[in-house]
Amino acid sequence: MTHRRRRSVLLAVAIVAAVGLLAACTSETPTPRPSSGSTLRDESNRVLFEGGLYVQRDSLAARAATRLERAGDATAAGAASAIAKESVAIWLGDQYDVAQVRRVVRENVAAAEKKGVTPVFVTYAIPHRDCGDYSAGGWTAERYPAWTKAIADTLKGHRAVVLVEPDSLAMLSNCPAETDVRVPLIKRAVEQFAAAGVPAYLDAGNSHWVPPATMAARLEDAGIASARGFFTNVASFYRVDQERAYAEKVSALTDSSHFVIDVSRNGQGWKGTWCNPSGTGLGQDPHVTGGTGGLDALLWIKSPGISDGSCNGGPKAGAWFSSYAQDLVRLRARD
């Protein structure tokens, strides 16, 4: 299977795992965000991720744990509970129209503010987001700016971080005809988030995909100067040392941009296949780093425990894969 198809399936799965709507709750007074791109780039990561990372109350893992516990499978429920205790990014795709995405964002932000922590959102609705492959979808070029503006407007004045469109820039080589539409849309979205004072990170693929110089040029075209930085390793398995070495090269080529790395399933590194590989483990606990260098945080962006597809004994893509989740927990590597 091609790298493009592998990535598309993984990201389609992440959309299936997006959080359900939370019950309305009373929030604390929000902490105002800085309003300029330069401030967003210069601010301490401890300020931008104030209070630490938000843990969803009703994540897919949490629902699986409840279901398995009721079924009397204590071992499987325990693994799901272990995953549910950690912060996982909240995916926003075209399953939510403008009104719905406002509501989802608002309710998650309210829940996070009640606990004094910072939620991490992922946008995944760029037109032709997978270059016409498995994860077909996304808004039209005419509708997309209003959708991202709705997210930015809802987040204005609140603590939150947004990861903008995984694969959108790394995949441009697979659909070069999309470049003239996609890149300006991403740049406009970044400007919307910057105007709202929301730290945004752009797609930079992973250490085994696009050369640093090529990726840096794409990031510059997509408006990284107005963003906090970029993210790497979404839905992939590469170790932190590999990703950080790559990210530091990209950072040096983009005016010292900051970056975050997905460590949700990289605890045992790459295992030779993309689809439910055996021998993989959870990575480090998601956390905000000490702020040395450009690394802001190690995050769980991909939702661990869900199947990549009907391969290697797994159920359909997006379904909870209990035995795989148990292996991820058993082989967890926190270093």
Long-range Cβ pairs for the range 18-22 (8 Å, 24+): 18/90, 18/91, 18/92, 18/93, 18/95, 19/56, 19/58, 19/59, 19/90, 19/91, 19/104, 19/108, 20/58, 21/103, 21/104, 21/107, 22/56, 22/57, 22/58, 22/107, 22/108, 22/110, 22/111
Listed in order, strand segments (DSSP E) in the chain are 90-93, 120-124, 161-164, 200-203, 229-232, 258-262, 287-288, 295-299
The catalytic position among 133, 203, 262, 308 is 308
Do 7 and 135 meet the contact criterion of CB atoms below 8 Å apart? Answer: no
Residue of 49, 86, 41, 34 whose CA lies nearest to 160? 49
Neighbouring C-beta atoms of residue 326, cutoff 10 Å = 17
The catalytic position among 130, 133, 203, 327 is 130
The catalytic position among 167, 203, 296, 327 is 167
Q: How far apart are CA 125 and CA 129, in angstroms?
A: 7
Q: How far apart are CA 303 and CA 226, in angstroms?
A: 28
Do 278 and 331 meet the contact criterion of CB atoms below 8 Å apart? Answer: no
262 noted as active-site residue: no
308 noted as active-site residue: yes
Question: Which residues are known to be catalytic?
Answer: 130, 167, 308
